[in-house]
Amino acid sequence: MAYPGSKKLYLSTSLIRPSVRVSPSVRRSVGPSSGERRPQVLPTVSPMFDIWCIDLSRRKRQYPVHSARPSLFMPPMASLLDFDLHAYVAKYTGYTQVRRLLYIASKDPGLADAAYEKAASLLRVDGGCNTSDYCKVVQLSKTLTLDEAWVTTENERAHLLQNNLESELEGYKRNLIKESIRMANNDLANFFVARGDLKSALSYFLKNRGNCTTRKHVLDNCLHIIKLSLNMENFALVQSQATRGHQVPSFEEDEGGRNERGKLDIALGLAYMSQKQYHVACASFLKVPASLGNAFSAVATVEDAIMYGTLCGLATCHRKNLKRLFIDNENTRKLMELVPLVRDMVTDFYTGDFSKSLATLDKLRTNFERDIYLGPHMNALYESIRNEALQQYFAAYLSVQLPLLAEALNCTVEDVTKRASTLIMKGKLQARIDSQQQILNARANNERRGMFAKAVSSGQSFLSEGHAILLRMNIAKHKFVHHARRRDDGNNQARYDQ
């Protein structure tokens, strides 16, 4: 197996998944054998993902004393949980900056004051006229004071600008020039976005659908509607517009065309994720090209897309699909290189090192919950990922001691017992729990009984087919068959006598 960041191919028989059942006392070993030297993977700094990535280039190799082989170096938990609010918001543009700050303030009281202060400063930039959201932020904050003079000045200036834009639109409508009408509608829509009136802005973009004369105009209008619909949480409209954008013909196959499709894939993935169709959402997110970068920063970055796709994939994909979508997919490997910690989490999960993979997930969970799109689904994804890890780990055993299973899944015995019992009741885990011995036993199949049941079923099928054949033969023998006679009428048409 090739580890991330290594230039050599390492093969180990311990990586082969056992096809036979092993005794309860034998634990599965996943990864290089004790004598091998596993290459260390050091995450690098990503300028577009500086929240979760830290600089480890100057750290020395540090391996646990009790371990016989080196493992992937994991940074301290305190470093992983560091969160730079200003750097996080700087990755995005437009109205989503304010929405993300307000979401962080509602979920993390420790960052609420800094988030409200940052949101107020963004709303009061030069030319900003979003007074409604500014008043809302000041009302929610405990430290900010309302600048009534600025609010009055901006409202008057916005009223004059709105009248000018509306008069220009009326003049273009009288001239019946579609291109001028389209541009005037876009100006008015952008004005209402700056004012924070997303509903009015969406109405002007929807009016422009009949004024688009080129494929580029159609695609741009779809993206404008998608951005507003995501900010309004209208995911049904997002899905319809993303599908419409994918149907635009003659997309260029160059990098620019792939990036435009990547924006639609992100929007479509967010729509599927809102419907909890995580498997379909994963496929959409993993189609995003790595060259997209921050081109869609009004919604999400390419690092956000690989985060969404990774968590959705770990929660829904089995081992074969995980290999096809993540390990063998060249585009996905390029995306995961942008987020080294997420890449290591996927690699550890696929190789069966669930303890390390789930430990990384626990450390990054707080940062994931601060994301405006991922946060509402984090609890469901977290539970699904842990359930999938338990099922994959137990698949190679007839019985496993619960303390060893809890250690392998980086949780307590009570937690793994509760999780296993839930999966058993749902029919997803064929096993029984011995609470006295603290052992999880696989439910053995009675092969002898199954063979007899299969033989009886085959005999009954043979008898029914034989009776049907005999009945057909006897009917033909006694001529108990009704034949229709064909005759031609005067119009040369065939008719049958009943």
Return the ∠ at Cα 223 (arms to 220 and 224), rounded to 5°: 85
Other beta carbons within 10 Å of 115: 26
Q: Which of 157, 146, 187, 155 is nearest to 169 (CA)?
A: 187
**Amino acid 313: pLDDT:** 94
Strand partners, 233: none
Q: Could you tell me whether strands 431-434 and 485-488 are parallel, antiparallel, or unpaired per DSSP bridges?
A: unpaired
**Amino acid 67: pLDDT:** 33
* Distant-in-sequence, close-in-space partners of 128: CB < 8 Å, separation ≥ 6: 122, 154, 194
CA distances from 368 to 16, 99, 239, 361 (A): 33, 16, 23, 9
Residue 440 has phi, psi (to 5 degrees) of -100, 110
Type of residue found at 246: H
CA distances from 59 to 40, 41, 54 (A): 12, 12, 11
Other beta carbons within 10 Å of 102: 19
**Amino acid 84: pLDDT:** 85
**Amino acid 124: pLDDT:** 87
pTM of the predicted model as reported, rounded to 2 decimal places = 0.71
The sign one gets for the Cα dihedral 134, 139, 140, 146 is positive
Strand partners, 442: 431
**Amino acid 446: pLDDT:** 66
d(CA 367, CA 434): 38
**Amino acid 68: pLDDT:** 33
Residue listed under structure tokens 């967010």: 270
Type of residue found at 162: Q
The sign one gets for the Cα dihedral 172, 176, 180, 186 is positive
d(CA 240, CA 235): 9
d(CA 45, CA 50): 7
CB 177 within 8 A of CB 199: no
The sign one gets for the Cα dihedral 190, 192, 194, 198 is negative
HEC profile of the chain: CCCCCCCCCCCCHHHCCCCCCECCCCCCCCCCCCCCCCCCCCCCCCCCCCCCCCCCCCCCCCCCCCCCCCCCCCCCHHHHCCCCHHHHHHCCCCHHHHHHHHHHHHHCHHHHHHHHHHHHHHHCCCCCCCHHHHHHHHHHCCCCCCCHHHHHHHHHHHHHHHHHHHHHHHHHHHHCCHHHHHHHHHHHHHHHHHHCCHHHHHHHHHHHHHCCCCHHHHHHHHHHHHHHHHHCCCHHHHHHHHHHHHCCCCCCCCHHHHHHHHHHHHHHHHHHHHCCCHHHHHHHHCCCCHHHCCCCCCCCCHHHHHHHHHHHHHHHCCHHHHHHHHHCCHHHHHHHHCCHHHHHHHHHHHHCCHHHHHHHHHHHHHHHHCCCCCHHHHHHHHHHHHHHHHHHHHCCECEEEHHHHHHHCCCCHHHHHHHHHHHHHCCCCCEEEECCCCEEEECCCCHHHHHHHHHHHHHHHHHHHHHHHHHHHHHHHCCCCCCCEEEECCCCCEEEEC
* Distant-in-sequence, close-in-space partners of 357: CB < 8 Å, separation ≥ 6: 345, 346, 348, 349, 389
The 399-401 sheet, strands edge to edge: 399-401, 439-442, 431-434
**Amino acid 252: pLDDT:** 59
pLDDT tens across the length of the chain (498 residues):
444 443 333 333 333 333 333 333 444 333 333 344 334 433 333 333 333 333 333 333 333 333 333 333 333 333 334 678 889 999 999 899 999 999 999 998 889 999 999 999 999 886 678 899 999 999 999 888 898 999 999 999 999 999 999 999 998 888 888 889 999 999 999 999 999 999 999 999 999 888 888 888 999 999 999 999 999 999 999 999 999 988 887 655 666 778 888 999 999 999 999 999 999 999 999 999 988 888 899 999 999 999 999 999 999 998 889 999 999 899 999 999 999 999 999 999 999 899 999 999 999 999 999 999 999 999 999 999 999 999 999 988 888 999 999 998 888 999 999 999 999 998 888 888 888 888 898 887 667 877 888 899 999 999 999 999 999 888 888 877 666 665 555 555 555 444
Q: Which of 34, 35, 32 is nearest to 15 (CA)?
A: 32
